[in-house]
Structure 1
């Protein structure tokens, strides 16, 4: 009897061990990674911009934004190429005149003529990743105007057009997932941070589970650890994109705000606690850098009082510059100084975004990097 019992125990242990090994082989691991997205501060070949035009919201909308695009172009062209998407040839000529009048050399600037619905290239533009041979390819994720809240048909075609123009391999993910670039943050070392409200939302990906989304992100962005925040659906057009209030400054640093400012930004308290407790792929806490909100509610250049404060977290890291949203506010200098300390080898340049901010976004929202 004892021998039979011992034999049974050994058999059960053998089965358990085999099952455990099989389970381990099914877990998300680095072996499932097919593409890896370089972190934003990695060297760029250039930056993509979609220039404002009159064909969607009128000439006044366009004219109020031109100065911000001129300043971004001037700053970016000092250390990398600037790829400008113009709506048509007439718009290209107009943009060239604006740049010439500002004394900006066109040496590092080129143009593509593609119709667009709006300026938010971070969300609709190409996502550049490297395949397992180190080759740069374009991922074309689905874009549906943040849950069909705005026109999107022209912008949705931009990644495909760019891939074709560069004769670059395109990974078509339109039927796989709707995913805006501003909805996800990666630390460049295997971690992705996002709000569920902007990804696992039925207006983007109906019925998609968290585990399904994670498997897709692992395969196509090269991440294997996830920091999920709840977010707040319906608060604004993006359903609370992460890049307005939390970013990875580098592989070891998480840039966000203090508790009260996050509450003012309407980030759920549970999400704030999750942010402050976040750890990297190896379980080490991130260094937290906290930027203020503006001291005052933002007022546009043309005098419109917006009734809410501005975030400095939505900055953009270029090769030798960091473009920081500024609001003609006392806290501009405070935020610029903090960000300068974070990037001592780059020069911080404040970009006036007051008119752009009236339309819901800042610098990171309207830029998209092309890695070197």
Structure 2
């Protein structure tokens, strides 16, 4: 039976998340507290539109319930970190839409990074699949949910430094990676970007996830991160990535329409490091768009663009700076379960 990954704008049954616990990503009690507040804010925003299930590490239920309230379902499982997009399953549906499946990629801590722990997180996709009753489709490909984005009509976005990087799949060829992706997601054409944003190669980076760079907003339409300031290393990089996207066609032969979304005006964090703040790392839920905010002058412009792209959805801005401090954004901490049947 053939399964395919629906686009994010297709109807969801629920959203899955994972609760931050003490781990190397959140180096101090203050950082952990800030992360939990941010995760809770995202969960509250999503819950307005669909059910949310939060996987909570063993012994962390009280901390989660205190911030999440009674309206978010909690499930206790062993966890290492809190990035459900990457550690959770990638859900797919049968061709007739009746049966739910869950792709269980091999997870190795974003390329076996020295700070990462993944003994528990490598098992979470299977745990979530079991909780949903989905058929589990295991893969030997080292991959994460933030490293793919689909249009639901046969096209998938990938980055070479992730699926083809020596930290993840040193023995896989491009052809082998594409074959495995297509087999599991029901896609037919891969559009490869050479790399991700500069900040994604620092500590806590993913080594190039696509979901902070580009995402499908509709078949044939991609939103892409644009850095207009020449002082930022992503200035020339994003011009190149956008040009590559504009030169690409999707699985249906359509030339991609690229909607550029300018990065926030802030260039560096408190430590002086260049930030990779991005509005692209948003999340679509039933009737809503949950959009990263940075207390920045460009927040409103980004929200206006998403309102234009999704006129039937309500755009909710959530401060994502504490999430980005840990290495990701709103899309990175959420995972949609598409509606079967």
Pairing 1:150-169 to 2, within 5 Å after superposition: 150-169=116-135
Take 1:259 and 1:333, find their aligned partners in 2: how far apart are those partners? 16
Q: CA deviation at 1:337?
A: 0.9
Q: Deviations over 1:71-111 (max 9, x none)?
A: 111111111110101112x42122212234xxxxx34x211
RMSD of equivalent CA atoms: 2.2
Aligned to 2:337: 370
Matched, 1:79 2:43: no
Please, which moves more after superposition, 35-44 or 52-61? 52-61
Please give the TM-score of this superposition, normalised by the length of structure 2.
Answer: 0.89
Alignment match of 1:147 (pick from 103, 111, 119): 111
1:340 CA displacement:
1.1
The structure showing larger relative contact order (alpha-carbon pairs under 8 Å, at least 6 residues apart) is 2
Residue aligning to 2:61: 92
Partner of 1:129: 92
Q: Distance in 2 between matches of 1:259 and 1:99?
A: 35
State the Cα distance separating 1:34 from its structure 2 match.
Answer: 2.6
1:21-77 deviations in Å (ceiling 9; x for gaps):
xxxxxxxxxxxx832001111001111111111255453332011221221111111
Residue aligning to 1:323: 290
> Which digits, 9 at most, give the CA deviation of each residue in 1:313-365, with x for residues without a partner?
11111112111111111111111111111111111111101122122211111
TM-score relative to the length of structure 1: 0.82
CA 1:136–1:235: 2 relative to 1, 3 Å: same
1: distance between equivalents of 2:91 and 2:39? 22
3-state DSSP class of the match of 1:98? helix
Map 1:1-372; keep pairs closer than 5 Å: 34-56=2-24, 57=26, 58-88=28-58, 90-100=59-69, 106-107=70-71, 109-132=72-95, 134=97, 135-149=99-113, 150-173=116-139, 176-231=140-195, 235-236=201-202, 237-258=205-226, 260=228, 264=234, 267=237, 270-297=240-267, 299=269, 306-308=273-275, 310-372=277-339
Alignment-derived partner of residue 28 in structure 1:
none
For residues 256 and 110 of structure 1, the distance between their equivalents in structure 2, rounded to whole angstroms, comes to 33
Distance verdict in 2 for CA 1:330–1:271, change over 3 Å: closer
1:298 is displaced (CA, Å) by 5.5
**For the Cα contact (< 8 Å) 1:298–1:327, is it kept in 2?**
no
Provide structure 1 residue ranges, at least 5 long, that are not aligned to the other structure: 1-32, 101-105
Task: Check conservation: 1:137, 1:169, Cα contact below 8 A.
Answer: yes
Hey, what's the Cα distance between the residues in 2 that align with 1:168 and 1:75?
Answer: 26
Shift of 1:297: 2.7
Distance 2:87 2:38 in 1: 20
* Bigger share in helix: 1
Alpha-carbon distance in 2 for matches of 1:55, 1:263: 30
Does the residue aligned with 2:201 lie in a helix, a strand or coil? coil
Change (3 A) 1:256 1:369: same
Larger CA Rg, structure 1 vs 2: 1
